[in-house]
Copies of this chain bind each other. A is one copy, B any other.
């Protein structure tokens, strides 16, 4: 077993979080990861309070283990769901797409462990001061909305700057990645892409096949120009979006229209043409479908072997 402070503190067996991926991270995947001994996380995405409440309750019906909810701060329902997680006594909250400090006080007062996703040292230090239990330091090699820094320097720089636990995310899909993250000072990892192909992941089969087939250079970043970069698999949609955003004649409204519904079309309909298949650079390492339990366990077992064998590198 891997010895990490976050396991004791969060009541989990393995220091592995499952990323709160929009249209992907539902009660099915989150409960499977939590049952496996990791921390499953429900994606709050753009759900309203009622919808999130239902997803939380479904998750509770499938697992009695701790789980988390990811609050997407740009959601129009952020305020509403920020109360739902308190009413529902969710043990862990991760936050994305912004600065969570306005909600932190009430979450902390409710006894919730708050773990913001950060892409810079400055935000990590700020949320530490406000009482965050830990941070997820997520590098730009991850799928979905990304920051500017890569995992290797970001995790190391954040670990050097804060005294709370750091969970490394971005570019991690196996035990070697987990072991590397620990060397950088992290106390756990968050994986998204690897869980896309989990048996309990309800993403459309086409999505899973695309991830399984993808190699190292099969993702593309769009939205850099608008300041909201997103990493996804190369396909008709992402290539077209990239082309259009570089075309000065295309308006922000047209781009917005093009993107609308694209995540749902990918995850739920498997529309390989017009869907946006968010995915990390690490897709090349994801080559087989497995249960969430097998993923969590094998990642940690691989890392354990590396930890035990590390003394071989010293002579």
Contacts and interface: CB of A to CB of B under 8 A. Distances in A.
Nearest to A181: B180
Given A152-B152, A152-B171, A306 B310 contact: yes
A150 B150 contact: yes
Given A280-B153, A284-B121, A177 B184 contact: yes
A150 B148 contact: no
B307 A122 contact: no
Contacts of A159: 176
Interface stretch (A1-9, A25-33, A57-65, A90-98): A1-9
A149 interface: yes
B217 A315 contact: no
A157 interface: yes
Given A156-B285, A282-B153, A314-B308, A176 B171 contact: no
A307 B176 CA distance: 14
A215 interface: yes
Given A141-B152, A171-B152, A180-B184, A1 B284 contact: no
A296 interface: no
B150 A177 contact: no
A315 to B, nearest CB: 4
A4 B312 CA distance: 10
A170 interface: yes
A179 interface: yes
A8 to B, nearest CB: 11
A149 B281 contact: yes
Given A150-B281, A151-B150, A1 B314 contact: yes
A174 interface: yes
Nearest to A220: B148
Contact of A152 (B3, B180, B308): B180
Nearest to A168: B152
Most central of A170, A183, A306, A308 by chain B CB within 10 Å: A183
Given A3-B315, A153-B282, A184-B177, A215 B121 contact: yes
B176 A153 contact: no
Contacts of A150: 139-141, 150-152, 170-171, 281
A127 B64 CA distance: 52
Most central of A1, A153, A177 by chain B CB within 10 Å: A153
Nearest to A158: B216
12 contacts: A1-B314, A3-B313, A150-B152, A154-B281, A156-B174, A156-B177, A157-B285, A159-B176, A182-B183, A303-B313, A304-B313, A307-B313
Given A306-B310, A308-B314, 5 more contacts: A4-B313, A156-B176, A156-B282, A182-B313, A183-B306
A-B pairs, top 9 by smallest CB distance, nearest first, are: A152-B171, A310-B310, A150-B150, A153-B171, A180-B180, A141-B150, A179-B183, A180-B183, A3-B315
